[in-house]
Amino acid sequence: MEAILALEDGRIFHGEAFGATATSVGEVCFNTSMTGYQEILTDPSYRGQIVAMTYPQIGNYGTNDLDQESHSPHVRGFVIEELSQPSNWRSEDSLENYLLHWKIPGMQGVDTRALTRHLRVRGAMKACVSTESLSAEEAVRRAMEGPGVVGMDFVSEVTTGQAYHWDPENKQSRHWTIVKGSANPGTPPDIADNGQVFLPLPPVRHRVVAYDLGMKRNILRMLRQNGFAVEVVPAGTSAGDVLARDPDGVFLSNGPGDPAALGSIHANVRKLIGKKPIFGICLGHQVLGFAFGGGTFKLKFGHRGANQPVKDLRTGRVAITSQNHGFAVDADRLPSTVEVTHVNLNDGTVEGMRHREQPVFSVQYHPEASPGPHDAGYFFQEFAKLIEETRGA
Protein backbone atom coordinates (compact mmCIF):
# COMPACT_ATOMS: atom_id res chain seq x y z
CA MET A 1 0.00 0.00 0.00
CA GLU A 2 1.21 3.48 -0.83
CA ALA A 3 1.92 6.11 1.82
CA ILE A 4 2.31 9.87 1.62
CA LEU A 5 4.10 12.51 3.67
CA ALA A 6 2.90 16.04 2.93
CA LEU A 7 4.61 19.11 4.40
CA GLU A 8 2.80 22.38 5.07
CA ASP A 9 4.91 24.13 2.42
CA GLY A 10 3.53 21.77 -0.24
CA ARG A 11 6.50 19.37 -0.53
CA ILE A 12 5.34 15.78 -1.04
CA PHE A 13 7.16 12.51 -0.34
CA HIS A 14 5.81 9.15 -1.47
CA GLY A 15 6.63 5.73 -0.05
CA GLU A 16 5.33 2.36 1.07
CA ALA A 17 3.10 1.94 4.11
CA PHE A 18 3.86 -0.26 7.10
CA GLY A 19 2.47 -0.40 10.60
CA ALA A 20 -1.04 0.93 11.08
CA THR A 21 -3.44 2.10 8.39
CA ALA A 22 -4.00 5.64 9.60
CA THR A 23 -3.57 9.36 8.96
CA SER A 24 -1.77 11.59 11.44
CA VAL A 25 -0.67 15.22 11.68
CA GLY A 26 2.26 16.64 13.65
CA GLU A 27 5.54 18.48 13.35
CA VAL A 28 7.98 16.51 11.21
CA CYS A 29 11.57 16.34 12.44
CA PHE A 30 14.62 14.16 11.83
CA ASN A 31 16.78 12.10 14.19
CA THR A 32 20.39 11.22 13.31
CA SER A 33 20.79 8.23 15.67
CA MET A 34 21.95 4.96 14.11
CA THR A 35 20.27 2.83 16.79
CA GLY A 36 17.68 3.22 19.51
CA TYR A 37 14.55 3.56 17.38
CA GLN A 38 12.33 1.95 20.04
CA GLU A 39 13.60 4.35 22.70
CA ILE A 40 12.89 7.22 20.29
CA LEU A 41 9.38 5.98 19.58
CA THR A 42 8.58 5.72 23.30
CA ASP A 43 10.26 8.97 24.42
CA PRO A 44 7.42 11.25 25.63
CA SER A 45 9.43 14.23 24.36
CA TYR A 46 8.27 13.29 20.84
CA ARG A 47 4.60 13.84 21.65
CA GLY A 48 3.00 15.60 18.69
CA GLN A 49 5.81 14.86 16.22
CA ILE A 50 6.40 12.76 13.12
CA VAL A 51 9.94 11.38 13.30
CA ALA A 52 12.13 10.62 10.29
CA MET A 53 15.31 8.58 10.83
CA THR A 54 18.37 9.57 8.79
CA TYR A 55 20.03 6.15 9.20
CA PRO A 56 18.85 4.12 6.18
CA GLN A 57 18.05 0.68 7.66
CA ILE A 58 15.71 0.59 10.66
CA GLY A 59 14.12 -2.40 12.39
CA ASN A 60 16.98 -4.90 12.22
CA TYR A 61 16.94 -5.79 15.94
CA GLY A 62 13.17 -5.71 16.43
CA THR A 63 11.49 -4.50 19.61
CA ASN A 64 11.28 -5.71 23.21
CA ASP A 65 9.69 -4.74 26.52
CA LEU A 66 12.94 -3.84 28.27
CA ASP A 67 13.82 -1.00 25.87
CA GLN A 68 10.56 0.89 26.38
CA GLU A 69 11.17 4.44 27.67
CA SER A 70 7.50 4.82 28.65
CA HIS A 71 4.35 2.72 28.59
CA SER A 72 3.69 3.35 24.87
CA PRO A 73 4.96 5.21 21.78
CA HIS A 74 4.27 8.94 21.53
CA VAL A 75 5.20 9.77 17.93
CA ARG A 76 2.44 10.66 15.46
CA GLY A 77 4.19 8.83 12.62
CA PHE A 78 7.49 7.13 11.72
CA VAL A 79 9.35 7.69 8.42
CA ILE A 80 12.34 5.59 7.29
CA GLU A 81 14.21 4.66 4.14
CA GLU A 82 14.23 0.85 4.47
CA LEU A 83 12.41 -1.47 6.89
CA SER A 84 14.63 -4.37 7.99
CA GLN A 85 13.39 -7.66 9.39
CA PRO A 86 14.55 -8.42 12.95
CA SER A 87 17.55 -10.65 13.54
CA ASN A 88 18.65 -10.26 17.16
CA TRP A 89 18.59 -12.46 20.25
CA ARG A 90 16.77 -9.78 22.27
CA SER A 91 13.98 -9.26 19.72
CA GLU A 92 10.45 -10.07 20.88
CA ASP A 93 8.56 -8.63 17.92
CA SER A 94 9.12 -6.76 14.66
CA LEU A 95 8.98 -2.98 14.30
CA GLU A 96 6.13 -3.36 11.81
CA ASN A 97 3.98 -5.34 14.27
CA TYR A 98 4.91 -2.91 17.03
CA LEU A 99 3.59 0.11 15.11
CA LEU A 100 0.52 -1.87 14.04
CA HIS A 101 -0.25 -2.75 17.67
CA TRP A 102 0.00 0.89 18.75
CA LYS A 103 -1.95 2.19 15.70
CA ILE A 104 0.92 4.36 14.43
CA PRO A 105 1.40 4.86 10.67
CA GLY A 106 4.84 3.99 9.32
CA MET A 107 6.31 4.87 5.94
CA GLN A 108 9.35 3.36 4.20
CA GLY A 109 10.99 3.84 0.82
CA VAL A 110 11.37 7.57 1.50
CA ASP A 111 14.40 9.56 0.37
CA THR A 112 15.17 10.56 3.94
CA ARG A 113 18.31 12.39 2.84
CA ALA A 114 16.22 14.72 0.66
CA LEU A 115 13.68 15.13 3.48
CA THR A 116 16.42 15.98 5.98
CA ARG A 117 18.06 18.51 3.65
CA HIS A 118 14.67 20.13 3.06
CA LEU A 119 14.01 20.47 6.79
CA ARG A 120 17.50 21.83 7.42
CA VAL A 121 16.94 24.55 4.82
CA ARG A 122 13.27 25.33 5.48
CA GLY A 123 13.11 24.31 9.16
CA ALA A 124 10.97 21.80 11.00
CA MET A 125 7.34 22.22 9.98
CA LYS A 126 3.88 20.77 10.28
CA ALA A 127 3.18 17.68 8.19
CA CYS A 128 0.64 14.96 7.50
CA VAL A 129 1.57 11.28 7.13
CA SER A 130 -1.03 8.91 5.74
CA THR A 131 -1.11 5.22 4.93
CA GLU A 132 -4.71 5.54 3.73
CA SER A 133 -6.01 6.67 0.34
CA LEU A 134 -5.45 10.38 0.87
CA SER A 135 -4.78 12.79 -1.99
CA ALA A 136 -1.72 15.05 -1.94
CA GLU A 137 -3.95 18.14 -1.87
CA GLU A 138 -5.92 16.88 1.14
CA ALA A 139 -2.74 15.84 2.96
CA VAL A 140 -1.19 19.30 2.48
CA ARG A 141 -4.40 20.93 3.70
CA ARG A 142 -4.41 18.81 6.87
CA ALA A 143 -0.74 19.62 7.47
CA MET A 144 -1.40 23.35 7.16
CA GLU A 145 -4.34 23.17 9.57
CA GLY A 146 -2.45 21.11 12.17
CA PRO A 147 -1.63 22.69 15.55
CA GLY A 148 2.16 22.09 15.43
CA VAL A 149 4.12 22.39 18.69
CA VAL A 150 4.54 26.16 19.23
CA GLY A 151 2.43 27.22 22.19
CA MET A 152 1.41 23.62 22.90
CA ASP A 153 1.33 22.09 26.37
CA PHE A 154 1.84 18.39 25.75
CA VAL A 155 3.20 17.84 29.27
CA SER A 156 -0.32 17.57 30.67
CA GLU A 157 -0.92 14.64 28.27
CA VAL A 158 2.14 12.61 29.27
CA THR A 159 2.76 13.32 32.97
CA THR A 160 1.83 10.75 35.59
CA GLY A 161 -1.66 10.97 37.04
CA GLN A 162 -0.51 10.45 40.61
CA ALA A 163 2.68 10.36 42.65
CA TYR A 164 4.54 7.06 43.00
CA HIS A 165 7.83 5.66 44.29
CA TRP A 166 10.08 4.37 41.52
CA ASP A 167 11.26 0.76 41.76
CA PRO A 168 10.79 0.18 45.52
CA GLU A 169 11.82 -3.48 45.10
CA ASN A 170 15.04 -2.61 43.23
CA LYS A 171 14.23 -4.77 40.23
CA GLN A 172 13.62 -2.35 37.35
CA SER A 173 16.81 -0.29 37.72
CA ARG A 174 19.49 -2.95 37.72
CA HIS A 175 22.35 -2.89 35.26
CA TRP A 176 22.37 -5.85 32.93
CA THR A 177 25.06 -7.54 30.91
CA ILE A 178 25.49 -10.76 28.92
CA VAL A 179 26.60 -14.02 30.51
CA LYS A 180 30.24 -14.71 29.68
CA GLY A 181 31.63 -17.99 30.94
CA SER A 182 30.81 -19.25 34.42
CA ALA A 183 29.48 -16.96 37.14
CA ASN A 184 31.96 -15.41 39.56
CA PRO A 185 32.15 -16.95 43.07
CA GLY A 186 30.12 -15.29 45.81
CA THR A 187 26.55 -14.08 45.52
CA PRO A 188 25.15 -15.49 42.26
CA PRO A 189 23.79 -12.93 39.80
CA ASP A 190 20.15 -12.86 38.78
CA ILE A 191 20.15 -14.51 35.35
CA ALA A 192 17.13 -14.16 33.06
CA ASP A 193 16.01 -16.86 30.64
CA ASN A 194 17.50 -14.99 27.69
CA GLY A 195 20.98 -14.89 29.23
CA GLN A 196 20.97 -11.35 30.61
CA VAL A 197 22.72 -10.92 33.95
CA PHE A 198 21.28 -8.31 36.31
CA LEU A 199 23.78 -6.73 38.70
CA PRO A 200 22.95 -5.51 42.25
CA LEU A 201 22.21 -1.84 42.98
CA PRO A 202 24.09 0.44 45.41
CA PRO A 203 22.45 1.45 48.71
CA VAL A 204 20.20 4.52 48.77
CA ARG A 205 22.07 7.67 49.84
CA HIS A 206 19.64 10.42 48.86
CA ARG A 207 15.89 10.90 48.49
CA VAL A 208 14.69 13.08 45.63
CA VAL A 209 11.37 14.22 44.21
CA ALA A 210 11.24 14.06 40.42
CA TYR A 211 8.81 16.20 38.43
CA ASP A 212 7.45 14.06 35.60
CA LEU A 213 7.27 16.42 32.62
CA GLY A 214 7.41 13.43 30.25
CA MET A 215 10.17 11.40 31.86
CA LYS A 216 12.09 8.58 30.22
CA ARG A 217 12.43 5.43 32.30
CA ASN A 218 16.18 5.27 31.88
CA ILE A 219 16.50 8.56 33.77
CA LEU A 220 14.77 6.88 36.69
CA ARG A 221 17.04 3.84 36.33
CA MET A 222 20.14 6.04 36.29
CA LEU A 223 19.03 7.97 39.36
CA ARG A 224 18.56 4.72 41.28
CA GLN A 225 21.84 3.30 39.96
CA ASN A 226 23.57 6.36 41.40
CA GLY A 227 22.13 5.93 44.89
CA PHE A 228 18.91 7.96 44.67
CA ALA A 229 15.50 6.87 45.92
CA VAL A 230 12.97 8.63 43.69
CA GLU A 231 9.40 9.73 44.26
CA VAL A 232 7.84 10.80 40.97
CA VAL A 233 5.16 13.52 41.09
CA PRO A 234 2.80 14.97 38.46
CA ALA A 235 3.94 18.07 36.57
CA GLY A 236 1.32 20.21 38.29
CA THR A 237 2.48 19.42 41.83
CA SER A 238 2.88 22.61 43.84
CA ALA A 239 6.17 23.72 45.36
CA GLY A 240 4.52 23.46 48.78
CA ASP A 241 3.63 19.81 48.24
CA VAL A 242 7.19 19.05 47.18
CA LEU A 243 8.71 20.83 50.19
CA ALA A 244 6.27 19.02 52.49
CA ARG A 245 7.90 15.77 51.36
CA ASP A 246 11.25 17.19 52.55
CA PRO A 247 13.42 15.56 49.85
CA ASP A 248 17.19 15.93 49.67
CA GLY A 249 16.83 17.33 46.17
CA VAL A 250 14.46 18.00 43.28
CA PHE A 251 14.81 16.66 39.73
CA LEU A 252 13.15 18.17 36.63
CA SER A 253 12.70 15.73 33.76
CA ASN A 254 12.63 15.91 29.99
CA GLY A 255 9.32 16.33 28.18
CA PRO A 256 7.47 17.52 25.05
CA GLY A 257 6.00 20.70 23.64
CA ASP A 258 6.73 24.39 24.03
CA PRO A 259 8.38 25.30 27.37
CA ALA A 260 6.85 28.78 27.16
CA ALA A 261 3.38 27.22 27.58
CA LEU A 262 4.15 25.90 31.09
CA GLY A 263 3.66 29.05 33.17
CA SER A 264 2.38 27.33 36.31
CA ILE A 265 5.33 24.93 36.28
CA HIS A 266 7.76 27.85 35.92
CA ALA A 267 6.17 29.43 38.99
CA ASN A 268 6.43 26.29 41.12
CA VAL A 269 10.07 25.72 40.19
CA ARG A 270 10.87 29.38 40.92
CA LYS A 271 9.58 28.84 44.47
CA LEU A 272 11.87 25.83 44.92
CA ILE A 273 15.09 27.65 43.96
CA GLY A 274 17.12 28.19 47.10
CA LYS A 275 15.02 25.73 49.09
CA LYS A 276 16.40 22.46 47.69
CA PRO A 277 19.22 21.41 45.32
CA ILE A 278 17.77 21.13 41.80
CA PHE A 279 18.93 19.25 38.70
CA GLY A 280 17.12 19.67 35.36
CA ILE A 281 17.41 17.77 32.07
CA CYS A 282 16.11 18.86 28.64
CA LEU A 283 12.64 20.39 29.20
CA GLY A 284 13.57 20.65 32.88
CA HIS A 285 16.57 22.73 31.80
CA GLN A 286 14.30 25.02 29.76
CA VAL A 287 11.80 25.34 32.63
CA LEU A 288 14.69 26.46 34.84
CA GLY A 289 15.54 29.08 32.22
CA PHE A 290 12.08 30.59 32.72
CA ALA A 291 12.25 30.16 36.51
CA PHE A 292 15.52 32.13 36.51
CA GLY A 293 13.74 34.97 34.71
CA GLY A 294 14.85 34.14 31.17
CA GLY A 295 13.15 32.45 28.24
CA THR A 296 13.53 30.19 25.21
CA PHE A 297 13.35 30.37 21.41
CA LYS A 298 12.50 27.79 18.76
CA LEU A 299 15.41 26.21 16.90
CA LYS A 300 15.20 26.01 13.12
CA PHE A 301 15.28 22.21 12.99
CA GLY A 302 16.20 21.17 16.53
CA HIS A 303 18.84 18.85 17.93
CA ARG A 304 17.78 15.22 17.70
CA GLY A 305 20.28 12.40 17.65
CA ALA A 306 23.14 10.74 19.50
CA ASN A 307 26.05 12.66 17.98
CA GLN A 308 25.71 16.24 19.23
CA PRO A 309 29.06 17.79 20.32
CA VAL A 310 28.92 19.83 23.54
CA LYS A 311 31.77 21.82 25.10
CA ASP A 312 32.16 22.34 28.85
CA LEU A 313 33.26 25.98 29.08
CA ARG A 314 34.78 25.42 32.52
CA THR A 315 37.16 22.62 31.51
CA GLY A 316 37.34 22.80 27.71
CA ARG A 317 36.32 19.15 27.45
CA VAL A 318 34.02 18.06 24.61
CA ALA A 319 31.39 15.35 24.99
CA ILE A 320 29.31 13.62 22.32
CA THR A 321 25.76 13.68 23.59
CA SER A 322 22.25 12.37 23.00
CA GLN A 323 19.67 15.11 22.43
CA ASN A 324 16.02 15.62 21.56
CA HIS A 325 14.69 19.17 21.65
CA GLY A 326 13.28 21.83 19.36
CA PHE A 327 13.67 24.83 21.69
CA ALA A 328 16.72 26.36 23.41
CA VAL A 329 17.36 28.65 26.37
CA ASP A 330 18.07 32.23 25.29
CA ALA A 331 21.49 33.11 26.77
CA ASP A 332 20.90 36.85 26.36
CA ARG A 333 17.86 36.76 28.63
CA LEU A 334 19.52 34.96 31.54
CA PRO A 335 20.30 37.08 34.61
CA SER A 336 23.89 37.65 35.75
CA THR A 337 23.36 35.20 38.62
CA VAL A 338 23.23 32.35 36.08
CA GLU A 339 26.37 31.01 34.38
CA VAL A 340 26.26 29.24 31.02
CA THR A 341 28.47 26.17 31.53
CA HIS A 342 28.03 24.22 28.29
CA VAL A 343 27.44 25.13 24.64
CA ASN A 344 26.61 23.22 21.48
CA LEU A 345 29.61 23.27 19.15
CA ASN A 346 27.42 23.18 16.03
CA ASP A 347 25.44 26.36 16.69
CA GLY A 348 26.65 27.80 20.01
CA THR A 349 23.32 27.39 21.81
CA VAL A 350 23.09 26.90 25.57
CA GLU A 351 23.53 23.26 26.61
CA GLY A 352 24.14 23.70 30.35
CA MET A 353 23.88 26.30 33.08
CA ARG A 354 24.17 26.72 36.82
CA HIS A 355 23.13 29.31 39.39
CA ARG A 356 26.10 31.16 40.86
CA GLU A 357 24.56 31.48 44.33
CA GLN A 358 22.07 28.60 44.70
CA PRO A 359 22.54 24.79 44.32
CA VAL A 360 20.86 24.56 40.93
CA PHE A 361 22.20 23.27 37.60
CA SER A 362 20.86 21.81 34.38
CA VAL A 363 21.80 20.39 30.98
CA GLN A 364 19.89 20.46 27.71
CA TYR A 365 20.98 16.98 26.62
CA HIS A 366 20.34 13.47 27.99
CA PRO A 367 23.02 12.18 30.40
CA GLU A 368 21.15 8.87 30.70
CA ALA A 369 21.83 8.33 26.98
CA SER A 370 19.01 6.07 25.93
CA PRO A 371 19.82 5.87 23.10
CA GLY A 372 23.24 7.42 22.74
CA PRO A 373 26.80 7.68 24.11
CA HIS A 374 27.57 7.68 27.83
CA ASP A 375 29.98 10.63 27.95
CA ALA A 376 27.67 12.68 30.20
CA GLY A 377 26.56 10.05 32.70
CA TYR A 378 28.62 11.71 35.42
CA PHE A 379 25.97 14.41 35.96
CA PHE A 380 24.02 12.11 38.26
CA GLN A 381 27.03 11.94 40.55
CA GLU A 382 27.36 15.72 40.26
CA PHE A 383 23.80 15.94 41.57
CA ALA A 384 24.67 13.67 44.50
CA LYS A 385 27.76 15.78 45.26
CA LEU A 386 25.69 18.97 45.16
CA ILE A 387 23.22 17.50 47.66
CA GLU A 388 26.03 16.45 49.99
CA GLU A 389 27.72 19.84 49.81
CA THR A 390 24.43 21.63 50.48
CA ARG A 391 23.67 19.37 53.43
CA GLY A 392 27.12 20.03 54.91
CA ALA A 393 26.99 23.80 54.40
Residues tagged active-site: 282, 366, 368
The closest of 202, 251, 199 to 225, measured between CA atoms, is 202
3-state secondary structure the chain: CEEEEEECCCCEEEEEEEECCCEEEEEEEEECCCCCHHHHHCCHHHCCEEEEECCCEECCCCECCCCCCCCCCCCCEEECCEECCCCCCCCCECHHHHHHHCCCEEEECCCHHHHHHHHHHHCCEEEEEECCCCCHHHHHHHHHHCCCCCCCCCHHHHCCCCCEECCCCCCCCCCEEECCCCCCCCCCCEECCCCEEECCCCCCCEEEEEEECCCCHHHHHHHHHCCEEEEEEECCCCHHHHHHCCCCEEEECCCCCCHHHCHHHHHHHHHHCCCCCEEEECHHHHHHHHHCCCCEEEEEEEEEEEEEEEEECCCCCEEEEEEEEEEEECHHHCCCCEEEEEEECCCCCEEEEEECCCCEEEECCCCCCCCCCCCCCCHHHHHHHHHHHHHHC
